[in-house]
């Protein structure tokens, strides 16, 4: 069974660390800038999320688990589907991919967080893939 078809996990995970759950799992309705980049237009978020789910279902058997986990993270972060908590949600989804393959979740250390935001400035996913692959390989 494809776990990506059940988006209810987003609603549960989105409440982690929040004082209010009124908008948990609700896509944003306003346009936003993220690090000087324009995120997906609010009106296009449902379509982009549907395409993300289709892509994830088609690629979840990818043998390069680190690459797939990085792509999941990057795609969700770039869609920026919520008003707040998108990075947290992207990291949780990435870690769900890893845990489903019997790997440990990745925790980004403080020094990595400084580099983290730059992975999204020019939409270049390769440095993120390299870093996640390095962190996954440390577990093996």
Annotated binding site for ATP: 84-91
Q: Is 80 an active-site residue?
A: yes
Q: Tell which phi-psi region holds residue 17, choosing left (phi > 0), alpha (psi between -120 and 50) or beta.
A: left
Q: Is the dihedral of CA 122, 9, 43, 17 positive or negative?
A: negative
Q: Which residues are annotated as a binding site?
A: 84-91
Cβ proximity of 66 and 136 under 8 Å: yes
37 forms beta bridges with 34
- Spell 73-106 as b/e; 16+ CB within 10 A means b: bbbbbbbbbbeebbbbbbbbbbbbbbeeeebeeb
Per annotation, catalytic residue among 73, 74, 80, 81: 80
Q: Which residues are marked as active site? A: 80
């Amino acid at each position: 069974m494809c776990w990506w078809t059940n988006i209810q996990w987003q609603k549960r995970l989105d409440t982690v660390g929040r004082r209010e759950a009124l908008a948990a799992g609700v896509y944003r309705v306003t346009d936003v800038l993220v690090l000087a980049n324009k995120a997906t237009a609010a009106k296009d978020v449902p379509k982009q999320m549907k395409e993300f789910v289709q892509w994830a279902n088609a690629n979840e058997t990818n043998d390069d688990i680190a690459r797939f986990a990085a792509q999941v993270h990057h795609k969700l972060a770039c869609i920026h589907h919520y008003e707040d908590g998108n990075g947290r949600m992207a990291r949780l989804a990435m870690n769900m991919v890893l845990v489903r393959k019997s790997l440990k979740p990745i925790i980004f250390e403080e020094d990595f967080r400084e580099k983290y935001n730059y992975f999204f400035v020019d939409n270049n996913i390769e440095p993120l893939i390299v870093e996640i692959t390095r962190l996954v390989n440390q577990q093996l």
